[in-house]
Amino acid sequence: MNDRLERTQLYDWHKEHGDVIPFAGWEMPVRYTTIREEHMAVRDSCGAFDVSHFIFASLSIVRIDPLRSAIECSNHNFSDISPEEKPQLLNS
């Protein structure tokens, strides 16, 4: 059994700027400042989340267009969806 924890590509930055803890086999950041400061930073400007640990996938396909079309929302025509229904697309 491998007890070595995995690290994301941003591990060094996370380690330099905040606290890193073991989580589900990964060394993950838990905080950089106080909860209140981080909350207000996200409310006032922008928040980012390192998702590089979410999935590893290898695709071997002949034609990428159908896959890209299925993934990218920019290819779809949403003109028939009412403005009230559009926020629900984000929850799908």
Per-residue pLDDT of 60-91, as tens digits, reads 555 556 555 555 555 556 566 666 665 555 54
Long-range contacts of residues 51-55, Cβ cutoff 8 Å, at least 24 apart: 52/8, 52/9, 52/10, 53/6, 53/8, 53/26, 53/28
Contact 67, 59 (CB under 8 A): yes
Listed residue (41, 14, 44, 40) closest to 26, CA to CA? 14
CA distance 36 to 41: 8
Concatenating the DSSP letter of every residue in 46-83 gives ------TTS-------S--HHHHHHH-GGGS--TTS-T
pTM score: 0.47
- Residue 70's pLDDT is what? 59
Is pLDDT at 51 greater than 90 in this prediction?
Answer: no
